[in-house]
Amino acid sequence: MNKQSNNSNRAFRWLLFFLCLSFLPWTLTAQDADNTAPASEIAAAGDATLMGAFKQGGIAMYPLLIFSIATVGLVIYNGLYVREQAIINRSVIDNEVLPALDRLDFAAAMEVCEHNKGPVLNMLHSGLQTTQRGNFNPEKIDQAFNEAASVELARPFVFVNYLQVIASVSPMVGLLGTVSGMVKAFRTISEQGMGRPELLANNISEALVTTASGLMVAIPALIAYFFFKNKYGKIAASVSQVLGRVLRDVTDRHDHPSNPSA
C-alpha cells in the first residue's frame, strides 16, 4: 500500500472518530428522553439547555443535527485534502520526477508517479504515457495533461461544494420548522382559545428555535465553503503552473539533449 493510501485511510479513521464524538452527546441524552418532561412543560419552565432547545425545535431539528455533523466532517476532510502538499506534492515532483525527466527516463518518472498517488502525479502519469514506444509529441502530452486535470481536479472540489449545499438547505429546513410551529400555534388558538398561553408559547418557541438553528448551521458552512473555495482556486492555479513547467522542461531537454535542463 502506498503512502497516499495510508494517509487516506488515516484521515478516514479520524473523520469517523470525530463523527462518533459528535453523535455521542445526543445518543446519551436520548436514552433519558422518555423520563423528561413534555416539550410544553420544558418551554413553560424556561429550560435553556441544549437538549431543551432541541426538543422545542421539533422534528426539523433532526435534519439540522445531521447537517451540523456533516459540516464538521466536511471541514475536517477538506482541511486534510484541500492542501497544496496533498494535491501537488512538490517534494516528489522536484526530487524524483524532474530528475528522471532531465535524463529523459520517462519510464522511471512514470514509476515514481505510480508509487506516489496524487492528483498532479496522476496527471503527469497520464501525460507521460503518451511517450511510450518512443513517441514524443508535446501537443499530445499537453492534451493528456488537460484531460486528466479535468477529472482529477473535479474530485476534491465535490466535497467543497457539499458545504454550499448545506449552507443553502439548512435555512430552508429552519423555515420549514418555523412554518410548522406557526401552524401549530394557530391550531392551538382554534382549539384551546387564548386561555392556555403556555401551549401557544411552546409552538412559537418551536418556530423561533428552528429558524435560529438553521442559521447557526448555515453561517459556519457558508464561511467554510468560501474559505476552501478560495484556497482550492489558488491550488488549481498552481497546478497549471507546475504542469506547464514540466512540459516546457521536458520539451526543451528533448529538443536540446546536450543542454543542461533549466
Domain membership of residue 202 (yes or no) is no
pLDDT at position 79 is: 92
Mean pLDDT over 224-228 rounds to: 95
Domain membership of residue 32 (yes or no) is no
Instruction: Quote the number of domains for the chain.
Output: 1
pLDDT at position 155 is: 85
pLDDT at position 68 is: 92
- Return the minimum-mean-pLDDT range out of 12-16, 120-124, 234-238: 12-16
Dist CA 165 CA 235 (whole Å) = 22
Evaluated on CA atoms 80, 81, 82, 84, the torsion sign reads: positive
Dist CA 73 CA 183 (whole Å) = 34
Provide the grid cell at 151.
477529472
Name the residue among 62, 66, 70 with its Cα closest to residue 210. Answer: 62
Give the pLDDT confidence of 60-112 residue by residue, as tens digits: 788 898 999 999 999 999 999 898 888 998 889 989 998 888 888 888 989 99
pLDDT at position 196 is: 66
Domain membership of residue 163 (yes or no) is no
Provide the grid cell at 111.
514509476
pLDDT at position 36 is: 42
Give the pLDDT confidence of 3-53 residue by residue, as tens digits: 444 555 555 555 555 555 444 444 433 444 444 444 444 444 445 565 666
Give the pLDDT confidence of 154-205 residue by residue, as tens digits: 888 999 999 999 999 999 998 888 887 787 777 777 776 666 666 666 777 7
Dist CA 32 CA 107 (whole Å) = 64
pLDDT at 115 over 50: yes
Domain membership of residue 146 (yes or no) is yes
* Residue numbers of the domain that contains 96: 85-153+244-255
pLDDT at 55 over 60: yes
Q: For 175, how many CA atoms within 13 A lie in the half-sphere containing its CB?
A: 6
Dist CA 250 CA 82 (whole Å) = 28
Domain membership of residue 53 (yes or no) is no
pLDDT at 243 over 50: yes
53: Cβ contacts below 8 Å, ≥ 6 apart: 47, 209, 213
pLDDT at 56 over 70: no
Domain membership of residue 159 (yes or no) is no
79 or 255, which is more confident: 79
Domain membership of residue 131 (yes or no) is yes
- Max intra-chain CA distance, the chain: 96
pLDDT at position 228 is: 95
Domain membership of residue 59 (yes or no) is no
230: Cβ contacts below 8 Å, ≥ 6 apart: none
In this structure, are residues 128 and 110 in contact, taking their beta carbons and an 8 Å threshold? yes
pLDDT at 216 over 80: yes
